[in-house]
Structure 1
Amino acid sequence: MKIKSSAYMGSFLAALLNSSVVSAAYSTANSSILLLSNDSTMNFDLLTPLGESITGGGDIGPILGAAKDIEAGNMTSFSEVFYKLANDTKAQAEDPENAYDPLNVRETWFSAASYFRKADGYLHGNWSNPLINSIWAEHLAAFDKGIAALPIPGKRIQIPAATKDNFTIEAIWYSASESNHDKLPTLIIGNGFDAAQEDSYHNFVAPALARGWNCITYEGPGQPTVRRNQNLGFIPDWEKVVTPVVDYVLSEKKQVVDENRLVLIGNSFGGYLAARAAAFEPRLSAAVLIDGVWDNYAAYIRELSPEQIEIYEAGNYTQFDDLLLTAREAGKLPTGAAWGIDQGLWSFYTHSPADFFTQVKKYNVEGFIDKIKIPVFVGDAELESSYVGQPKQVADALGQLATLHTFKGVAGFHCQTGAGQELSRTIHAWLNKTLG
């Protein structure tokens, strides 16, 4: 179906260019920190490896050097700069003189892996781009060398879902003790819309191991490695992913896991996924939602103008798809909107924006939140704009089971990016108080 007129297309682009979330999701206006890019989305994406550097997932100087070299708003530039940095760091990791010390090996390979992940982030608009798989293979190989050099090496495992669901969960197990008899508290950690389980090592696992917690990270359908290897997009009934992980932990690791301190963490869009799993998995002791997510459809349509929403909700799906995809292909969208379309279609395994929004309507906690019967930490962020007000909705619905915490100031970005120490301190203080 063709666009009705160039004037109509112009008004569409104007509306999209000025939509609230596109301009404000990671707004640089009145920023409380020094900006790394004049492009608000890229500024946020540079904070990610910078934040991970506190646990060995990068080095500050090279990341600042990358920030200087990236052309703001140019997604190809972002990928190319981080790809070069990743390969330069890989060459350092392969230097025989670097191998004298496991810490040297670990931090260099972890940094290389982090940079490969960033090089991949803006590639998903073209599913046939071979770099989507080749960069990811480099990233996995680098990360595996990093976890092999941990004091207690991490171990990759594949966990089959129920036979009728026909997918395999990718996971990594991390032990906090070499003893086979110490029953320790354990975190089950899941990401959300785009981040990898390897990011979870830096954001959650390393701080937890230092505090004596075992950890298992995982990925299900729609998430980076499962999406690539199994061609599966997200599913809303996320207990089908988490329950097999709990089965594994309480069977294969039962000698080293305290079943009374088994905690599920969900990060970003994972705040919905973890809430869904917590409602249907009774063996969990507590849940941590960073962020609290009530309704993903309500969050995502914030990127659309009222006119665009009207077209979609009237059922004019072909027109809606043509408008959105034409705008994307014209290269006129802000980085956040372009990336959001690319990542949304790729991770939900659809080429139709209308189908993406229709699928997203299923990711709403209202129908099951009353089934959650465990303590829940609900994170909010002062500078959040996608899930505005939703953490409080989640906490209010949970009542006395919920602890709502709003991160403020420089820790107020989405998922506390760049403030990992404050995030870890806050979560573990709550866990200590709640579970002992």
Structure 2
Amino acid sequence: MKLISTSSALELFLAAITFSAFARSESNDQPILSLSQDESFHFELLVPLGEAIYGGADVAPVLGAAENITVGNFSSFHEVFYTLAKATKAQAEDPANAYDPLNVRETWFATATYFRRADFYLHGDWDNPLINSLWDEQLNAFDHAISALPNPGKRLQIPADTFAVEAIWYPATNESSKRPTLIMCNGYDGAQEDLFHTLVVPALARGWNALTFEGPGHPTVRRRQNLGFIPDWERVVTPVVDYLLAQQADNVDADRLALFGYSFGGYLAARAAAFEPRLSAVLLDGGIWDTYQAYIQYLPATAIALLDSGDKLAFDKALFAAVQAPETSSQVRWGLDQGLWSFKTHSPYDFFQMTKAYAVKDFVHDIAIPVWIADGVYEGFFQGQSAQVKDALGPNATLHVFTGPAGYHCQSSNEIRASIDAAYWN
């Protein structure tokens, strides 16, 4: 096939809304005050504001960051949060603050959050040393914080077949007591450390144990083990369940073991639930019927035809030309950067082909446990797919649609409402 021109590539791919799982709805309605004229930056500023609810940040510094970030400039986003992270770390290390261990702990949590934000838009250049150095900083800060919890969190490496699951165990009590346990993973880009400030804190407050984990494709495993996403997520979850039922048998009620998948984790958790029979329930925030269809639905027919033609070279050249154009949105640029990095491929064509393996429709009828599914009216990217999962599962599933300011993807900055609704379902 003849290679299409750069101008044609721009016409094709700039017509796409986004590759990002964090797009707003096509209506461009917005239920809250905008934190940035850049849609992607707006959402990524909501993330640390949401984590502030459970001790992951302070509100004023995040709003200050929003004021100082240059629209569309990934380096600016990084630099503002890197500066904030270093300043917050200095506060945590200041001996003058040692009189208040609780404040020091919360300062370490905020430090970790800001280092994660500083890393967020850097994955287009795999050789950038900041990808690892910033992550080491956030791991170190987070470990300082969880070691100071009333019941300290414990990092684990749980052996799987050809890799190790990176996990953190958070006991609800320091005494032996069989309690319900929430196992949870993040999605396309999120870290397990983010889950502490969205799900772990409310779970512990309700008397649940919590265990967060990362498998191939997730931030720490991608860095430490050089592994991209795998579709057969039971390979990750089954070793986690093995660990809990063997190593934490005195603390875990085997009949109340729930799995939570956040964002793209809605596919991952559903896949594990279909093939790990010891789970009692699964929560999907949100439901992902077909990842490939979610990605291509915003591409023009001509772009899809080029993808379907099998001409990998032409598709890659056209997409890279479009993404590198100054007119291209941050959502599109980041979405491709993150997808290539987390799926571990340098080819957009291969990336799209890989996503075909991530479809709940392929095994939905193998899910035999109760399912809770979250959706939002401003979901945007996976709009409608939660309902498809619910319809296929029938009475076995509960669909909760969040509206208004809570209607963003994964209820960002509405963690209290989301956690209460999920707890009520249980």
Q: State the TM bucket, normalised to the shorter chain.
A: over 0.9
- Unmatched segments (≥5 aa) in structure 1: 432-436
1:325 shift after superposition = 1.5
1:329 shift after superposition = 3.3
Determine whether 1:367 maps to 2:367.
no
Determine whether 1:393 maps to 2:391.
no
CA distance in 1, matches of 2:9, 2:349: 16
Partner of residue 128, structure 1: 127
Map residues 311-326 of structure 1 onto 2, 5 A cutoff. Answer: 311-326=306-321
CA contact (8 A) 1:20 1:302 kept: no
CA contact (8 A) 1:13 1:327 kept: yes
Determine whether 1:259 maps to 2:258.
no
Partner of residue 198, structure 1: 193
CA distance in 2, matches of 1:222, 1:128: 17
CA contact (8 A) 2:4 2:318 kept: no
Amino acid at match of 1:222: G
Map residues 165-244 of structure 1 onto 2, 5 A cutoff. Answer: 166-180=162-176, 182-244=177-239
1:20 to 17, 20, 25: 17
CA distance in 1, matches of 2:19, 2:273: 31
Identical pairs, percent: 57
Map residues 134-149 of structure 1 onto 2, 5 A cutoff. Answer: 134-149=133-148
CA contact (8 A) 2:378 2:408 kept: yes
Partner of residue 276, structure 2: 281
Map residues 2-17 of structure 1 onto 2, 5 A cutoff. Answer: 3-5=3-5, 9-17=6-14
CA distance in 2, matches of 1:303, 1:45: 21
Residues 224-254 of structure 1 deviation map (CA, whole Å, 9 limit, x = unaligned): 0000011100000000000000000011001
Determine whether 1:428 maps to 2:423.
yes
Partner of residue 357, structure 1: 352
CA contact (8 A) 2:15 2:299 kept: no
1:303 shift after superposition = 4.0
1:305 shift after superposition = 2.2
Which one has more relative contact order, counting CA pairs under 8 Å at least 6 apart? 2
CA contact (8 A) 1:16 1:303 kept: no
Partner of residue 434, structure 1: none
Residues 372-394 of structure 1 deviation map (CA, whole Å, 9 limit, x = unaligned): 11100011111111111111111
Amino acid at match of 1:19: A
Amino acid at match of 1:314: S
Amino acid at match of 2:200: V
Three-state SS of the structure 2 residue aligned to 1:159 is strand
The Cα RMSD (Å) is 1.5
CA distance in 2, matches of 1:249, 1:337: 39
Three-state SS of the structure 2 residue aligned to 1:100 is coil
CA contact (8 A) 1:303 1:337 kept: no
CA distance in 2, matches of 1:367, 1:30: 33
Partner of residue 70, structure 1: 69
CA contact (8 A) 2:9 2:321 kept: no
Of stretches 299-308 and 52-61 in structure 1, the one that deviates more from structure 2 is 299-308
- Unmatched segments (≥5 aa) in structure 2: none
TM-score by length of 1: 0.95
Amino acid at match of 2:299: L
Determine whether 1:293 maps to 2:288.
yes
CA distance in 1, matches of 2:99, 2:152: 17
Residues 319-355 of structure 1 deviation map (CA, whole Å, 9 limit, x = unaligned): 0001111223344421000001100000000000000
1:98 shift after superposition = 1.7
In the superposition, relative to structure 1, how do residues 271 and 337 fare at CA in structure 2: closer, same or farther (>3 Å)? same
Amino acid at match of 2:388: Q
Amino acid at match of 1:67: A
1:36 shift after superposition = 0.5
Residues 176-214 of structure 1 deviation map (CA, whole Å, 9 limit, x = unaligned): 11112x111100001110000000101100111111100
1:3 shift after superposition = 5.0
Of stretches 26-35 and 103-112 in structure 1, the one that deviates more from structure 2 is 26-35
Determine whether 1:328 maps to 2:323.
yes
Determine whether 1:88 maps to 2:83.
no
Of stretches 296-305 and 130-139 in structure 1, the one that deviates more from structure 2 is 296-305
Aligned residue pairs total 424
CA distance in 1, matches of 2:284, 2:137: 31
1:26 shift after superposition = 2.4
